Amino acid sequence: MPLTVLDIANKEFKVSLRGYNQDEVDEFLDEVMRNYEAVIRENDELRQSTSGMGEKLEHYRQLEQTLQNTLVVAQSTAEEMKQAARKEAELVVREAEARARELMQKAEHQVAEQQQEVERLRRETDQFRARVKSLLESQLALLTHDISPAAVPAQT
């Protein structure tokens, strides 16, 4: 059983002949009692401090665990965002390629239509020229037939 301050204060020694000086023993016991009391107080303070530090340590361990969990979640979220961005970029590229193909097909179709229109206009121009030439030739033939000397009226 541990010694208490009261045990030291209440301790009495038997008086004997040629024994220790009672005043010195009492003074020494008083000093031991004060020192023992100081040690007990310091021990209590250290226990409280240790208890508080244990609570702080537990708090910091929980904080560390929370930070680690947050970091894992953040890394996971970042990876998911990267994958989503890649997929979205691939989708945008595919859509752009499809749109480009569509525009190229449209342009090729328009070029083909324009070439057909040019060809049609060439044919019509050739036909028009042939008709004008034929008309002019027939008019020229008429003019050359009507100009014979008998057809020209006499001038007075």
Give tens-digit pLDDT for 59-97.
999 999 999 999 999 999 999 999 999 999 999 999 999
Predicted confidence at residue 134, as pLDDT, reads 95
* Structure-model confidence comparison of residues 9 and 83, the more confident one: 83
Give the pLDDT confidence score for residue 121 in this predicted structure.
97
pLDDT at 97: 97
pLDDT surpasses 70 at 117: yes
CB atoms closer than 10 angstroms to residue 80? 10
Amino acid at the residue 126: D
Identify which has the larger pLDDT, 96 or 54. Answer: 96
What mean pLDDT do residues 105-112 have? 96
pLDDT higher than threshold 70 for residue 20 = yes
- Contact between 29 and 8 under an 8 Å Cβ cutoff? The reply is yes
In the prediction, which pLDDT does 156 show?
57
- In the prediction, which pLDDT does 9 show? 78
Q: What are the boundaries of each domain within the chain?
A: 5-145
Q: Is the pLDDT of residue 155 over 80?
A: no
As a whole number, the mean pLDDT across the chain is: 87
Where do we find the tokens 């070439």? 115
148, pLDDT greater than 70:
no
End-to-end CA gap in the chain: 175
